[in-house]
Structure 1
Amino acid sequence: MADMQDAGYAGRHALSTLVERVNALVRTIAFPSLTQLALRLALAVPFWRSGINKWDGFLDLNEVAVLLFAQEFKLQLPGGPYGFPAPGIVAFLVGSAEILLPLLLVVGLATRLAALGLLAMTIVIQVTVPSGWPLHLTWAAMALAIMAWGPGKASADHLLARFAR
């Protein structure tokens, strides 16, 4: 009986050692700063792409962007759908945010605030296009992770914090 218990212990110990080695390998590949950088880039890309499509040049918002907010996009709220108020202004603000906030994320400057802004935009997008919830949930999760754990060491925020000490 003791031999079976020893064999069971040895088997559990070997399995535990194997699991720990695999976990150590995974930690080597997915270290926090790389993960935080990847999250910042992954969240920035879809918003940047959307923002670029709204502009014809510097501060020259294209007509399609305004048309979308004036006629196509509707807030799917109870009693609605409702149109966006002041669609020209909303299109300009959204187009500007879709350029500025991703740039801040990529550089890692005011990162948590930029992620908060993109989370707020994601919520409005969800209310506007409810069927896109799987993608919107992914964006929200990335924004929340950035807000919770910060930009990581590969960021302007990290450099500024080091110089401020």
Structure 2
Amino acid sequence: MSTLTKYACTLGHLVARTTQALQRIPHSLIAFIARFSIAAVFWQSGQTKVEGFALDFVSGTFEWGTPHLADSALYLFSHEYKVPLLPAEFAAYAATVCEHLFPVLILVGLATRFSALALLGMTLTIQLFVYPDAYATHGTWATILLYLMARGPGTLSIDHWLARRYRQG
């Protein structure tokens, strides 16, 4: 056997072993990281639309008070975003509620598939009507959301706990 053939066999063996090791990454780990990451994206966006309440564990920002829609959010929905078929004020409130509710549900893993579907709808709306040039970012979001819709939240979730509890009972 030639030296080149030996190296090719060794490389092939290394690639096969690495591939096998990577295939053992647990779905629950991937799903948890996906849930945390996509929840953070939408939560932070929602936080830019409210005043009187701020909660960001990463930056350590905490402001307890009565939340209300920021004037800047109303301005953006009236002048920049211009989502068709929806009045600007309704769109601003709806987006703000959705960007706070669905990330929390996804983070704890409750109604994960449906919450991911809702955020995918928001992502598509943003891509089509608000920022059509941001397809790389929105494609990444869509991929994470589609993964969660298809595979579910994993074992570290309320959905998993509920499914086990009510399947046995």
Which TM-score applies when normalising by structure 1? 0.82
Give yes or no for the alignment of 1:147 onto 2:149: yes
Q: Give the distance between the partners of 2:42 and 2:13, measured in 1 at CA.
A: 43
Preserved contact between residue 127 and residue 135 of structure 2 (Cα < 8 Å): yes
Counterpart of 1:114 in structure 2: which amino acid? S
Larger Rg: 1
Give yes or no for the alignment of 1:27 onto 2:23: yes
4+ residue runs over 4 A deviation = 10-16
Q: Give the distance between the partners of 1:91 and 1:142, measured in 2 at CA.
A: 24
Q: CA deviation at 1:161?
A: 0.5
Partner of 1:130 in structure 2?
132
Which TM-score applies when normalising by structure 2? 0.80
Q: CA deviation at 1:17?
A: 3.7
Q: Percent identity?
A: 38
The structure with the largest helix share of the pair is 1
Q: CA deviation at 1:61?
A: 1.0
Aligned residues: 152
Give yes or no for the alignment of 1:49 onto 2:44: yes
Partner of 2:69 in structure 1?
61
What are the ranges of 5 or more consecutive residues in structure 1 without an aligned counterpart?
A: 76-81
**Aligned-residue CA RMSD (Å):** 2.1
What are the ranges of 5 or more consecutive residues in structure 2 without an aligned counterpart?
A: 53-65
Partner of 1:116 in structure 2?
117
Q: Give the distance between the partners of 1:48 and 1:110, measured in 2 at CA.
A: 17
Q: CA deviation at 1:13?
A: 6.2
